[in-house]
Amino acid sequence: MKIVACNSNMPLAAAVAEELDLPLCKTSIRRFADGEVFVEVLENVRGEDMFVIQSTSMPTNDHLMELLIVLDALRRGSARRVTAVMPYFGYARQDRKSGPRTPISAKLVANLLTEAGANRILTMDLHAMQIQGFFDIPTDNLYAAPLFVRDILARHSEIKEENLIIVSPDVGGVVRARQLARRLNVDLAIIDKRRERAGVSEVMNVIGDVEGRYCVLVDDIVDSGGSLCNAAEALMKHGAAGVEAYVTHGVLTGNACEKVANSPIKMLTITDSITPTEEQLKTANIRQISMASLIARAIRAVADESSVSSLFD
């Protein structure tokens, strides 16, 4: 097999290749003066099992187009199988019609990836599970929960003394939070919120007893940071002893880092599915853990035709 790295997250791609003890496939990905993407694969890929690593993070459309063109290049180069490894799947939040005459963009992206030449998709913590059904090709959705469990146990070795409780920042994330709570054998609480429009939410209630408890918020995406910070403030008002957050994808747009820095959140832990910005790196209460080993193990399982789900048992 061979690993191709696109431009959205080169550090993660290099770390995955190092975990697999493989060099990155030699490619040339550049842009013409008018912004068009040009791709040239500089190695023979005929009959190879190819894995293309690309998060469709900001600028989303540029990175998506880059991925599509690389997939097409590999298909035309007679690769035996092409797997799109997308640590962060852009457009995942557009998974349903939110109103009249609105698109289901996640389905459109699924169609584009398939038509471009992807034979398989490997991604991490999809915003909505039903997106797997948008694809007519095999789709593996990895979970960051094992990474978070190990990190929480390493940073909070005395869980009983700290009286830990896992908190879902909304009703839609209960399944994700419950999985983490079950692995840690701790209680679960839920934030009941109302979202009037995209990027704006209001906490209505806290379901569960968080008084005197050390709360760990768990979510898949932090974008503007408003919902997460509002949830942390609500938990502190209800008597929480402290609040941390574990989020898979740190999109962190606009002044999100400033919001987190000024919030009650002691530490926001995210993965390296998206390349961090300078502002993010400078924010004292934001840290990053690597998913390279997990993705490498999943790639190896796909290449060896062994079980991917066994990685989470």
- CATH code where residue 305 lies: 3.40.50.2020
Q: Which residues contact 309 (CB under 8 A, 6 or more apart)?
A: none
Domain of 61? Answer: 2-142+293-312
Residue numbers belonging to the annotated binding site? 34-36, 93-94, 127, 170, 195, 219, 223-227
Q: Which of 2, 193, 266, 282 is catalytic?
A: 193
Q: Which two tokens stand for residue 55?
A: 């998060």
Q: What is the mean pLDDT of each run of 10 residues along the chain (313 residues)?
A: 96 97 96 95 97 97 97 97 98 93 96 97 93 95 94 72 85 90 93 67 80 94 92 94 95 96 96 96 96 96 91 73
Claim to verify: residue 64 and residue 173 sit in the same structural domain: no
Q: Please tell me the predicted confidence (pLDDT) of residue 127.
A: 92
Same domain flag for 284 and 307: no
Query: Is 193 a residue of the active site?
Result: yes
Q: Are residues 160 and 285 located together in one domain of the fold?
A: yes
Gap between the Cα atoms of 63 and 75, Å rounded: 18
**In a shared domain, residues 94 and 196:** no
DSSP state of 25: P
Shared domain for 136 and 173, answered yes or no, is no
- The answer on 204 and 308 residing in a single domain is no
Helix, coil or strand: residue 110: helix
pTM of the predicted protein model: 0.92
Residues annotated within the binding site for Mg(2+) are 127, 170
Claim to verify: residue 43 and residue 165 sit in the same structural domain: no
Say whether both 106 and 158 belong to one domain.
no
Residue 47: its pLDDT value, please? Answer: 97
Q: Residue 288 region, left (φ>0) first, then alpha (ψ -120 to 50), else beta?
A: beta
Structural domain total, the chain: 2
The whole-angstrom separation of Cα 256 and Cα 240 is 23
Q: Are residues 62 and 51 in the same domain?
A: yes
Binding residue numbers for ATP? 34-36, 93-94
Interatomic CA distance for residues 126 and 191, integer angstroms: 20
Non-local CB neighbours of 185 within 8 Å, separated by 6+ positions? none
Helix-helix angle 292-303:10-20, to 10 degrees: 60
**Would you state the pLDDT for residue 36?**
95
- What is the pLDDT, as a whole number, of residue 62? 96
Residues 260 and 299 in one domain: no
Do 117 and 172 sit in the same domain of this protein? no
Residues 81 and 155 in one domain: no
